[in-house]
Amino acid sequence: MRKIGLVGGTGPESTLMYYKELNSRIDNLTGEKAMPDIAIESVNFRRAWEYVCNKDYEALSDYLAEKVKCLEASGCEVISLTAVTMHIVFDEIVRKSDTKLSLVSIPKTVAEETVKRGIKKIGLLGTIFTMEEDYMKKDLLEAGVEVFVPDKSERELIAKRIFEELEKGIVNESTLAEFVQIINKMKERNGIEGIILGCTELPLILNQNNCLLPCLDAVEIHIKKLIELAL
């Protein structure tokens, strides 16, 4: 089994989710005979987020590339970031880390799953950067999938709830109601056929049981790909 490396800490809740799910699922898949070797390089979330907010992408890619190098030096063969937003500098991280391995991209694996399901119009939720920048949309658009995001006020509300609540592990029913209402409005406005949970904390509150549209959980899709490569 290949050793897994995670660039974590962005935020801690999603890192815990990755660690727990990778261990429990691989244990089950191997008939309780093996769990993966996992190394985590945890970044200073406040520092990384400041780089993102200031659009200091050069410093952000330097910081994350160094973490990737540390993981590779520790023997990791399957490496990934554990946050969608940090993929804003994914290509630069690959270049700067000069890794001999392929980093496992969240946007790419989500695009592959969207196409596999035959979805032509998809909604995207995430941090303000994920919804407004192109890094999560690029692979989808290249695959012929139309991508829609909420209106500006809705994007700001979603970003606020992610940062002030979900990043801290806080799940409120009132926030769930807000999110479901936004998704329903997108269905009416844009005719979306599914919704991408494009932030690693969103599955804490949204899932197939409380959303009327098919939910493409970026974390779930990414974890499955990591397990496939590790095994």
Task: Please compute Rg for the chain using Cα positions.
Answer: 17
Write the secondary structure of the chain as one string of H (helix), E (strand) and C (coil).
Answer: CCCEEEEECCCHHHHHHHHHHHHHHHHHHCCCCCCCCEEEEECCHHHHHHHHHCCCHHHHHHHHHHHHHHHHHCCCCEEEECCCHHHHHHHHHHHHHCCCCCECCHHHHHHHHHHHCCCCEEEEECCHHHHHCCCCCHHHHHCCCEEECCCHHHHHHHHHHHHHCHHHCCCCHHHHHHHHHHHHHHHHHHCCCEEEECCCCHHHCCCCCCCCCCEEEHHHHHHHHHHHHHC
Residue 100: per-residue pLDDT: 64
List pLDDT tens digits, range 118-144. Answer: 999 999 999 998 999 999 999 999 999
The 10s digit of each residue's pLDDT in 70-116 is: 999 999 999 999 988 899 999 999 999 876 677 899 999 999 999 99
pLDDT at 199 over 80: yes
User: Looking at residues 192-210, what average pLDDT do you find?
Assistant: 92
- Tokens 């006020």 sit on residue: 153
Q: Which tokens belong to 102? A: 């392929």
pLDDT at 13 over 70: yes
pTM confidence score: 0.85
**Could you tell me the two tokens for 117?**
């399901």
